A and B are shown apart, each in its own frame.
Chain A
Amino acid sequence: MTLEVPEGRTTTFPKAPLIALDTLWLQVAGTVCNLACTHCFISCSPTNHSHEMMSRREVERSLAEALPLGVKEFYLTGGEPFLNPQIFEILEALLKEGPVTVLTNGILILKRQAAKLGALSESSDYSLDLRVSMEGFDAATNDPIRGAGTFDKIVAGILNLHEARLNPVITVSGAMNDAGAAASRERFLAFLRGLGLDRPRLKIMPLLRLGAEEKRTRGYAAWESLQGVTLDDSAARSLVCSSGRMVTSKGVFVCPILIDSDTARMGVTLADGLRPFELSSRACHTCYVDGLSCRT
């Protein structure tokens, strides 16, 4: 494929510096998930083992590396983190060292799990945030993407967290039409208040045209590229890859999005990942142009 370079642009890609290792991402569930969402950018499913789950020991190894580097916070993702049989031990270990955010579909958070999470949160000096993903106000919009019957189960998980005095951040992706529009946002907040969440928290994420999403709609087009773009300090600082790294069972990756890309694998240990990264992936366009931040 030949890219056309607009006049005045160079043919090189900008490089994002690693300014600091603020965020340690941990792919604790690998690519294993209880759902197979049609927009998942890493095509997670019950049978996708391209990245395996991480054991508590593996997490602690990364933690030991990250602490001297001044890590500020931890994000756990997958797949579905609550499929990991050691998830509560992992959370306990991490919450001794810093704040933790877990990205989940909420389905496996029954009352007992929610109560355990509430107790973990209570006993830590650091914040524990649960980020629950859904796609709409009702089953008709959510279930075609996340699977039949999932809307009700996600809502149940959210309510269990609320009952345990945890206030989850609800994440909605661009798969929901007009998710980013102010009116949609207000409508979603009203929906969450209607569920009984008195202080609803909402994060809207742009779509990443990778993995399953490529088949659902489309992949990245040739023009969606950062070739020739000059990255100023402010833009560099806002990129997830300028302040964090992702660790999976396969090693260290530049960010949580590109774990299926060989060029985004930076090595075995965090020390291998302490270097700039060339923004040559199509998905880098989404982070740069749409201002995507995977952090809450």
Chain B
Amino acid sequence: MSNLEPTRVLDLGSFKRVAFFGGIYSNHLALRSAIDRAQALNVDATFALGDFGAFGPHPDRSVELLRDAAIPAIQGNYEESLSSQALHCHCGYTDPQDNRFAQLSYDYTRENTAPEHKAWMGTLSLQGRLMLGTTRVLLCHGSPRRINEFLWRSTTSTAFIEKLLRDCETDIIVCTHTGIHWSRMVGPSRGIVNVGALGRPANDGKTHVWFATIEQAQGDMVTAFVPVEYNHEALAAEMESERLPPEFVETIRTGYWTTCLEILPAKERAAGKW
């Protein structure tokens, strides 16, 4: 009983310390700050885990930043959908209210992403593999078995993580898609890291966003979640001038999620305001 889909996997090489960017959601101002911050941390390389667009304004700006900085990237569900001319983002929501906002977000992003960038998205791999010292790391967007699977801290059992690691023949799984960062080690140098998102705050009432670094230090894996401050007021103003939903703007200004709430598990939802 294996549940892994055949997939396109990119071999990314071998490193000591790397940074991972989760969903960018068109937050080009946070992405600019994150690129600078990662450079300041002297990482060997930075990787992007998909969902460059959504939610925020001017989606091409984030894609151009990523491509100019030559940051290796894999597809998220947005890139998969945009590059295949899909009419929906395939985020994986099940509630009508969640889907209504997801569609507003996707329609805006689809209309405002250049064909050349959509074509580039279609060339990206679905997953990547790299080595951190002797530790095998698998990069994916949602989960190794499904691009839009939500892996939340409070609903991902340790038994399930163990199974994914076994099935994927890897030591560490790095993912995003939920928008809230967390990690759990299930053994020495074995575990999962959800790197969170650069696109919107982590539903904690703070306006900053997050990326993650992982390094091998003294024979063990060390994960650090890095807060990224950026000019969130400037982003909110851009979103307003693009007539994006006021609910999205409120999230950027307050740090609390106002949409796509029904997909949140009980604990993650209780941490927010709505």
For window 43-87 of chain B, which residues contact chain A by CB distance below 8 Å?
none
Chain A residues lying within 8 Å of B96, measured Cβ to Cβ, are 182, 185
Of chain A, the residue at the smallest CB distance from B265 is A127
- A291 to B33: give the CA distance in the assembly, Å: 43
Q: Does A8 contact B (CB under 8 A)?
A: no
With known contacts A70-B164, A126-B154, A127-B154, A20–B159 Cβ distance under 8 A: no
Q: How many residues of B contact A (CB 8 A)?
A: 26
Q: Let me know if A129 is at the binding interface, CB within 8 A.
A: yes
Q: For residue A20, which residues in chain B have a CB less than 8 angstroms away from its CB?
A: 1, 3, 145, 163
B218 in the interface (beta carbon within 8 A): no
The reply on A205 being an interface residue by CB < 8 A is: no
Q: Inside 8 A of A194's CB, which chain B residues have their CB?
A: none
A183 to chain B, nearest CB (A): 12
User: Which residues 198-230 in A have Cβ within 8 Å of B in the complex?
Assistant: 199, 201
Chain A residue numbers with a CB within 8 Å of B155 are: 72-73, 98-99, 126-127
Q: Is there a chain A Cβ closer than 8 Å to B267's Cβ?
A: yes
B238 touches A (CB below 8 Å): no
Complex contact B157–A98 (CB within 8 A): yes
CA distance A72 to B164 in the complex (A): 11
Q: Which residues of B contact A274 (CB under 8 A)?
A: 1
A126 to B157, Cβ gap below 8 A?
Answer: yes
Residue A248 at the B interface, CB < 8 A?
A: no
- Count of interface residues, chain A, beta-carbon cutoff 8 Å: 31
**Inter-subunit contact A167/B159 (CB<8 Å):** no
- The proximity string for A residues 169-202 relative to B, scoring 1 for CB distances below 8 Å and 0 otherwise, is 0000000000000100100000000000001010
| Docked-complex contact A199 and B274, CB < 8 angstroms | yes
Instruction: Give every chain A residue within 8 A of B154 (Cβ-Cβ).
Output: 99, 125-127
Contacts of B177 in A (CB 8 A): none
Cβ of A70 and Cβ of B163 under 8 Å apart? yes
- Chain B residues contacting A71 (CB-CB under 8 Å) are 157, 159-160
Quick one: which of B148-183 are within 8 Å of A by CB? 152-160, 162-164
Total cross-chain contacts (CB, 8 A): 73
Q: Shortest distance in angstroms between A18's beta carbon and chain B's nearest beta carbon?
A: 6
Flag if A68 contacts B159 (CB, 8 Å): yes
- Please give the distance in Å from B263's CB to the nearest CB on chain A: 10
Q: Which B residues from 119 to 173 make CB contacts under 8 A with A?
A: 145, 152-160, 162-164
Name the CB-closest residue of A to B266.
A127
Q: Digitize A105-135: 1 where CB-to-B-CB distance is under 8 Å, 0 elsewhere.
A: 0000000000000000100011111000000
| Most B CB within 10 A of own CB, among A165, A166, A201, A293 | A201
Check: B261 CB closer than 8 A to any chain A CB. yes
CA–CA, A99 and B156, complex, Å: 7
Nearest-CB distance from B251 to chain A (Å)?
Answer: 15
Q: A167-B269, A274-B1 are in contact. Are A70 and B261 (CB under 8 A)?
A: no
* A interface footprint on B246-274 (CB within 8 Å = 1, 0 otherwise): 00000000000000011001111110001
Cross-chain contact of B157 among A19, A72, A128, A129 (Cβ < 8 A): A72
| Chain A residues positioned under 8 Å from B162 (CB to CB) | 70
Contacts of B262 in A (CB 8 A): 201
Inside 8 A of A129's CB, which chain B residues have their CB? 265-266
Does A67 interact with chain B (Cβ within 8 Å)? Answer: yes
Question: Do B153 and A125 touch (CB < 8 A)?
Answer: yes
Nearest-neighbour CB distance to chain B for A45, whole angstroms, equals 30
| Minimal beta-carbon separation of B219 from chain A (angstroms) | 26
Q: A residues engaging B (CB < 8 A)?
A: 18-22, 66-73, 97-99, 121, 125-129, 165-167, 182, 185, 199, 201, 274, 293
16 extra A-B contacts, CB within 8 A, seeds A70-B164, A72-B155, A127-B265: A19-B3, A20-B3, A20-B145, A71-B159, A71-B160, A72-B156, A73-B155, A98-B155, A98-B157, A98-B158, A99-B155, A129-B265, A165-B270, A167-B269, A182-B96, A199-B274
Partner-A contacts on B (CB < 8 A):
1, 3, 94, 96, 145, 152-160, 162-164, 261-262, 265-270, 274
Ranked nearest first, the 3 interchain pairs of A and B with the lowest CB-CB distance are: A70-B163, A98-B157, A20-B3
**8 A-B interface contacts by CB (under 8 A):** A70-B162, A72-B155, A99-B154, A125-B154, A126-B155, A127-B266, A128-B266, A199-B274
